[in-house]
Amino acid sequence: MNTPFLPLTRPSIDEDTIAGVAAVLRSGWITSGPQVQAFEAALSAHCGGRAVRAFNSGTATMEVALRAAGIGAGHEVITTPLSWVATANVILQTGARPVFVDIDPATRNIDLNRIATAVTPATRAIIPVDLAGLPVDRERLYAIAASHRLRVVEDAAQSFGASWAGRPIGSFGDFVSFSFHANKNVTSIEGGALVLPIDMDPGLVERYRLQGVARSGFDGMEVDVLGGKFNLTDVAARVGLGQLARLDEFTVRRRLLARHYFDCFDSALGCDLPVMDFENSNWHMFQIVLPADVPRAAFMAAMKERGVGTGVHYPVIHLFKLYRALGFCEGMFPHAERVGRAIVTLPLFAAMLESDVERVCDSVTESIAGLRQNA
């Protein structure tokens, strides 16, 4: 009997959530409504009572956060080159310029030691990214931001359910952006949420979320800012509510599977493994960096032949054509470039078994050995 293909990720959606979605569909109210309000309330409770607004993507939350913070033309925003391209695209959307800072090769997050030298009179904000669910050091991050009077928009798209010093990500800090895309630890199929700082008017964020519209009475309508179409549907929110109730279960399971990866992985292969953090990280992804003699595309093809899915998260942003046209070039951020060329994401999701992890590790060993033998 053929062994089933093991995908890179797969959401765990229970029957109660499926029934709940059916109930929403039958209700006749399927766009933003009571389910979105309930989802926002549940997210607020998770974030220590802070104001939270739901969106149709994590990308939208970051763009709105920048706009609400007054970021625009002539400004600079510091971020990492090793992220999903949306992290930098939203900066361009506001008319500002991204300023990349190389990564710490161990954590693969932005190197906080390099931020100060990247600050200029035009710098207005920092967007740190919690790659694979491993949080950036929040104490150091906010100390740097405070010393230069910068806003922080936490790209916590991958770190929902993670923590720092015992506090859930999102329960403290400035703007915090979450994603609930289908591949995230908690999903609403597509969706995101923005946690607001205490000095931010939720009404302004709501207007940015939906065409800048503010309603009053039965027929009053006004538009005072240029908003977008970023609202979340009730169908998506109902999925998110079902997922949120299982967050602790998912996090515990992912940490257990990540531990098993470390137990089973062949250290003699020469791969760089992630930081072993089982207190703060939510283990959104388990990523290895291949040794220089193993071509990534060939490795991924070999894994597929063995029935194991893999992914690339991420090629570095500054070497895409769009960013090369802005003056970025190869060699500017060597740590990020090395990792971006060789990083591979291995399967990790809550429904996996320990035997699945063992299968992946065996497949990695076999794939690398086969490629080296044929080199």
**Cα separation, 292 vs 288, whole angstroms:** 12
* Residue 210: strand pairing partners: 229
Taking the alpha carbons of 129, 131, 135, 139 in that order, is the dihedral positive or negative? negative
> What is the distance, to the nearest Å, from the Cα of residue 135 to the centroid of all Cα atoms in its chain?
11
Residue 362: CB atoms within 10 A of its CB come to: 14
By DSSP bridging, strand 76-79 and strand 123-127 are parallel
**How many other C-beta atoms lie within 10 A of the C-beta of residue 235?**
20
User: Which ranges of 201-305 does DSSP label H, i.e. alpha helix?
Assistant: 202-209, 234-244, 247-264, 296-305
184 carries an active-site annotation? yes
> Cα–Cα distance between 85 and 88 in angstroms, integer?
6
Contact 280, 258 (CB under 8 A): no
Chain centroid to Cα 121, Å, comes to: 29
CA distance 52 to 59: 15
176, 156 Cβ separation under 8 angstroms:
yes
Q: Catalytic: which of 184, 229, 304, 321?
A: 184
In whole angstroms, give the CA distance from residue 149 to residue 71: 13
Residues 6+ apart with CB under 8 A from 201: none
Active site residues per annotation: 184
